[in-house]
Amino acid sequence: MAQLQRIAIAPSQFQQDQILLSPQQLHYLGRVLRLREGDHFIAMDGMGKWWLVQLAGEQAQVLELLSVETELPVTITLMVALPKGNGFDEVVRCCTEIGVTCIAPVISDRTLLNPSPQKLERWRRIAAEAAEQSERAFVPTILEPVAFMSINGQESMVNGQKYICEARGNFPHLKDCLPTKEQMTNDQELIIATGPEGGWTEQEIENAIASGFQPVSLGRRILRAVTAPIVALTLVTAACEV
Ligand code: SAM
């Protein structure tokens, strides 16, 4: 099973036991992966389901529902202040591989990047590719960029444990603040925020604390804005995976 190629499909492409493939997917399967009529591959709906399917003309015939065990036992939302240049591409790719559930690109007071609308599409494509590559059952959700200040206090963000990573100050290490394996429940939700190159402003930290975020350290070194979310997520996987 490991060597079968995987592609992400939208739930709307399903029609009973058939998957209607888009011209781009047909091109990818035929020209890039060199699959031929009758070849098998895996279709992932990005919502936790995988199917073994067979290429049949412009469709894929569903053969069997597969069971997957590659997801982390917790829901992790990363709120990442957009780094300069194409740094966010790397954040999306690596964090998808490690197991993030949702990435919220945020614009903070010191964010230097103003992303174009095409960026979101690009990040979602990168997430889908990385999910396929890392054999994830889910393609993480990449939200539209929003102002960090506007997120704080929103209803959808108030559940779960929330941490804001701060490079300076005498804060406890994230690894010492995470729930233990025994404490983690199946619907456990963790939200972790990391700042931009210039760091969070004092006001942002204060507002986040007022909204229930716990300030945490990721160690004694100053990590790049791209490295910090990857390290934070890695600590979570170490804490929750058996
Ligand atoms: N310019 C800031 C300074 O000198 O304090 C550093 C910002 S750092 C490059 C970017 C972001 O990564 C920070 O806002 C923080 O969220 C996170 N970060 C980097 N190193 C960290 C550490 N050791 N502990 C916690 N967070 C860290």
Domain boundaries, the chain: 6-66, 75-241
pLDDT at 154: 53
Atom of ligand 1 nearest to the CA of 198: 1
Q: Look up the pTM and report it.
A: 0.81
In ligand 1, the atom with minimum distance to the C-alpha of 224 is 9
Ligand 1 centroid from CA 237, angstroms? 20
Stronger pLDDT, 15 or 78, i.e. the higher one: 78
User: Ligand 1: distance of its center to the CA of 53 in Å?
Assistant: 45
Q: Please give the average per-residue pLDDT across 116-134, as a whole number.
A: 92
Contact status, residue 240 vs residue 184, Cβ threshold 8 Å? yes
Candidates 218, 194, 221, 219; CA nearest to 205 is 194
Q: How far is the CA of 17 from the centre of ligand 1 (A)?
A: 49
Cα-Cα-Cα-Cα dihedral sign, residues 6, 226, 161, 239:
positive
- The listed CATH number (2.60.40.1930, 2.40.240.20, 3.30.420.40, 3.40.50.920) that belongs to domain 6-66: 2.40.240.20
Least confident of 12-26, 108-122, 226-240: 108-122
Question: Residue 115 above 90 pLDDT?
Answer: no
**CA 80 – CA 226 distance, rounded (Å):** 9
Helix, strand, coil percentages in the chain from 3-state DSSP, rounded to 5: 30, 25, 40
Round the average pLDDT of the chain to a whole number and report it: 88
Q: Is the pLDDT of residue 158 over 60?
A: no
The CATH code that applies to domain 75-241 is 3.40.1280.10
Take atom 19 of ligand 1 and give the residue whose Cα is closest: 223
Local structure of residue 10 (DSSP, 8 states): -
What is the distance of C-alpha 186 from the center of its chain?
Answer: 18
Helix (H) or strand (E) holding 236: helix 227-240
| 180: nearest Cα among 130, 239, 107 | 239
